[in-house]
Amino acid sequence: MTQLLFTYDFPPIGGGIARMMGELARRYPPGSLVVSTGGCVEDCEVDASFRNKIDRITVPSRRLRTIQGLLAWSRRAGALARSVDPEFVWCGNLKPAGYPARWVRQRVGTPYGIFLYGTDLLLLQDRLRRSALKRSAARTLIGSAAVLVAISRWTRELCLAVLYEIGFRQGEIDVRVVPLGTDPDHFRPGIDPSEARARYGLDEGRWLLTVARLVAHKGIDTVIHVLAALRDDYPSLRYAIVGSGTMQDELERLARRLGVSHRVRFLTDVPDADLPALYNNAAIYLGVSRPAELMMEGFGISLSEASSCGIPVVGGSSGGIPDAVRENETGLLVDARRVEPVVDAVRALLDNPDLARRLGAGGRKAVESFYNWNRVTADVRQIGGELGERRDGGQRRGKP
């Protein structure tokens, strides 16, 4: 049976949601998934790399949130559903993908599910408290869904809180958890980092690494403070930051003020193909996100990527990161709201090579057995198939 995926985020657009959607499209069996998304420059070349059909409407992806974009998307979604006759529809996010999914449910009867991440729910929660219109729209889209899929236990708990705020009773909406993962074939140990070191100007030393957008909740400023605190005890310690964002100037100023700018490298244009080598170049990976500005880490795919490369990780203990890092098995969890616990964790790994190797090996094993896209895809397919069977078995939900 075929399933549909409506998504605002899809390659070549970057970001964690787009990566997840791309991995689903890549790993569903050929012919079992149709992806509906917006137009994008060079999309034909990207789309040819997938085993399943990518159906792009003429509206550019970034215009899908407009009224005109939503109308065009919904009409195309209805035509797709009639031609494909899917057992289930997935939404890459609540808005805007929930609108064409509900359109299909109303006209064709196909049930749909919505993926939820964390920050999206925090922003929604804030808007619901300030706008009755947004509250009504969210209740309609969520109330029409057959299932909500959270990427971590923390995301699920936040989702349940939002459901309560908009008037749903406990257990009225099916909310499930599907933790994310990575590709253990692409991200693997033993990759020679020398070429990447030369390309990105990474001199000899012991490198800390973070792969993230340069925004407040990612905790990159904390790691710069950690580097400053440890510089005298570890003269060869360095910090590479892969990513771009609005805080780069501020972070560069912080590194200069703390006297460690010569030890910090900002790598802003790194293709995915270079990431495995950069992970392999690192002694420790740091994903020390914390709550900031209505933002929080819902899982942390980069933590799984580092683990897949056999690198020990230090993660923040808030949000969904405890679902990505198994304490003392694949890494160390710390209170990332303060510098001192992160300093202690980094010091422990630098001073104890056996601990670092054990956690790195544990991370690789966890990715091979659980934190991988094949398992994620199997979980998503199973949920869609289960709920699709309920509909085909005569238990189709009535129209709202």
Q: What is the pLDDT of residues 240-255, one digit of tens each?
A: 999 999 999 999 999 9
- pLDDT tops 50 at residue 400: no
Phi, psi of 241 (to 5 degrees): -120, 115
Q: Kindly state whether residues 280 and 167 are assigned to the same domain.
A: no
Contact predicate 399/144, CB 8 Å: no
Q: What is the enclosing helix (H) or strand (E) of 45? A: helix 43-47
Determine, yes or no, domain membership for 9: yes
Q: Kindly state whether residues 103 and 230 are assigned to the same domain.
A: no
How many Å apart are CA 315 and CA 142, to the nearest integer? Answer: 31
Q: Kindly state whether residues 288 and 382 are assigned to the same domain.
A: no
Q: In the prediction, which pLDDT does 62 show?
A: 86
**Type of residue at 77:** A
Q: What is the enclosing helix (H) or strand (E) of 332? A: strand 331-334
Q: Kindly state whether residues 263 and 384 are assigned to the same domain.
A: no
Determine, yes or no, domain membership for 77: yes
As a whole number, mean pLDDT of residues 326-335 equals 98
**Type of residue at 252:** E
Residue 398 pLDDT level (bands cut at 50, 70, 90)? very low
Contact predicate 90/111, CB 8 Å: no
Q: What is the pLDDT of residues 119-172, one digit of tens each?
A: 999 999 999 988 888 899 999 999 999 999 999 999 999 999 999 999 999 999
Determine, yes or no, domain membership for 199: yes
Q: Kindly state whether residues 98 and 208 are assigned to the same domain.
A: no
How many Å apart are CA 305 and CA 371, to the nearest integer? Answer: 9
Read off the CATH number of the domain in which 351 is found: 3.40.50.2000
Determine, yes or no, domain membership for 186: no
As a whole number, mean pLDDT of residues 177-183 equals 98
Residue 60 pLDDT level (bands cut at 50, 70, 90)? confident
CA 308 vs. chain centroid, Å, equals 16
Q: Kindly state whether residues 274 and 325 are assigned to the same domain.
A: yes
Q: Kindly state whether residues 124 and 265 are assigned to the same domain.
A: no
- pLDDT tops 60 at residue 69: yes
* pTM of this structure: 0.92
As a whole number, mean pLDDT of residues 8-16 equals 89
What does each C-alpha distance from 341 to 19, 64, 68, 226, 344 come to in angstroms? 31, 43, 50, 10, 5
15: left (phi over 0), alpha (psi -120 to 50) or beta: left
Determine, yes or no, domain membership for 16: yes
Q: Show the domain range for 91.
A: 3-181+373-395
Q: In the prediction, which pLDDT does 392 show?
A: 60
Q: In the prediction, which pLDDT does 8 show?
A: 94
- pLDDT tops 60 at residue 397: no
Determine, yes or no, domain membership for 284: yes
Determine, yes or no, domain membership for 189: no
Cα Rg of the chain (Å, integer)? 22
As a whole number, mean pLDDT of residues 342-362 equals 98
Report the domain count for the chain.
2
Q: Kindly state whether residues 58 and 203 are assigned to the same domain.
A: no
Residue 116 pLDDT level (bands cut at 50, 70, 90)? very high
How many Å apart are CA 344 and CA 333, to the nearest integer? Answer: 11
Q: Kindly state whether residues 357 and 307 are assigned to the same domain.
A: yes
Determine, yes or no, domain membership for 187: no
Q: Kindly state whether residues 20 and 134 are assigned to the same domain.
A: yes
Q: Kindly state whether residues 37 and 175 are assigned to the same domain.
A: yes
How many Å apart are CA 368 and CA 310, to the nearest integer? Answer: 11
Q: Kindly state whether residues 288 and 209 are assigned to the same domain.
A: yes
Q: In the prediction, which pLDDT does 164 show?
A: 94
Contact predicate 122/161, CB 8 Å: no
Handedness of CA 389, 393, 395, 398 (dihedral sign): positive
Q: Of residues 353 and 394, which shows the higher confidence score?
A: 353
As a whole number, mean pLDDT of residues 27-55 equals 89
How many Å apart are CA 294 and CA 290, to the nearest integer? Answer: 10
CA nearest neighbour of 396 among 150, 256, 387, 313: 387
- pLDDT tops 70 at residue 104: yes
Q: In the prediction, which pLDDT does 307 show?
A: 98
